[in-house]
Chain A
């Protein structure tokens, strides 16, 4: 009966909600992100709807024929058989190399790769993805993420839950990463910081013009103790122009090796000695 008579005025109701909102806002991110992860985990199958369509839209050209002639089919079949034989050979080589490598002090020996799938993309204006592996699999905040397709760095783990992890992509405008700019055939090696441009690439700002940087130079993620043992490729410089506000500085645009919209399988670099 007491419950039935319980009634809040509009003002009280409004302030109750407002106080609840403020309390949620001031709660630590570690607590609130758990609720977000719970939501993502619960509705994961529904949230993924449309992803396959999206990937196929980005990856396949429209109007391409799906049916080929008999001659073309035979040719493709032969190529497939050859490639399959090559794959089996490479597989054997890989097994042998793995055995050899395990005994060598190679830089990557202290790292293990955790394969994961992109479960979803975070909504809003951020460039973030959700992986289907989390703390249970050894994923930790700050670890680098490689694309399975091109073995290039695509982002950094920004948050983790038991079975999910959030990765901030390099294209996110709030994501900075230490890089090295190198040119093939020369000893050039420049340390700098790179940030996402919020679109589909990255930018390197405030680099002095006296540095000899050209279009085509390669950009690597710099090695960081405990996170990345050796530099790994990120992309290529596609535009070098003077900064509009500071003419003595370069404003550089970097094209990433991977198209972030097509990411599907990735690997998290987990270093044992953290």
Chain B
């Protein structure tokens, strides 16, 4: 695991998530934007060794909290989901883009719904149409996920050549 490149990728994704650039891709009245960090979560959970995946997923969750403006819920949910995905990775098939998209969709729905409930517990700040909003964002993120996945794969190609230890490579 190259932590330096991971940090840079995570920083870029967090800035994209929290900033205005993704607003250019936003669609509809609800301003639905793709979620970049969820693809990172699924990618690193599946590709990395267990200890690396745990670190990566909690850090990605923390980044998601920073970009959403409320600390805590995403860190917990992303960490749990990442650990679960990592443990199930040997049984999962993610060779085709549609499989990756499906996993990103399901992971997004599960983690964001749980994160919303956790946020609700603390702030009691409910939002109407949130599930529709989550669903549309999940679909949008799933559609874009194969492209982000390819970019992440090509970025870590050199690393994979040097370390044949990791058997779980999906690209």
Contacts and interface: CB of A to CB of B under 8 A. Distances in A.
**A and B held together in a complex:** yes
Contact of A50 (B21, B68, B128): B21
11 contacts: A10-B54, A14-B79, A21-B58, A22-B76, A29-B70, A32-B70, A36-B70, A43-B19, A47-B19, A49-B20, A126-B127
A123 interface: yes
Interface residues of A, number: 44
Interface in B110-129: 118, 122-123, 125-129
B83 interface: yes
Interface in A160-179: 166, 173-174
A227 B24 CA distance: 35
Interface string B51-93: 1001100100100011111111101100110010000000000
Contact of A24 (B20, B54, B71, B129): B71
Contacts of A271: none
Contacts of A48: 19-20
A114 to B, nearest CB: 22
B127 A50 contact: no
A5 to B, nearest CB: 16
Contacts of B58: 17-18, 20-21
A50 to B, nearest CB: 4
Contact of A25 (B68, B76, B134): B76
Nearest to A35: B71
Given A17-B54, A47-B20, A199-B30, A128 B69 contact: yes
Listed from nearest, the 3 A-B pairs whose CB atoms lie closest are A25-B72, A47-B19, A50-B21
A53 B129 contact: no
Interface in A180-198: 198
Interface of A: 8, 10, 13-14, 17-18, 20-22, 24-27, 29, 32-33, 35-36, 39-40, 43, 46-51, 53-54, 57, 120-126, 128, 166, 173-174, 198-200
Contact of A21 (B75, B122, B125, B126): B75
Contact of A32 (B24, B67, B71, B76): B71
For chain B, the bracket of interface size reads 35 or more
B129 A39 contact: no
Given A17-B54, A124-B69, A198-B129, 10 more contacts: A10-B50, A20-B75, A49-B19, A50-B19, A50-B23, A54-B23, A120-B18, A122-B68, A123-B69, A174-B126
B69 A24 contact: no
B27 interface: no
B24 A36 contact: no
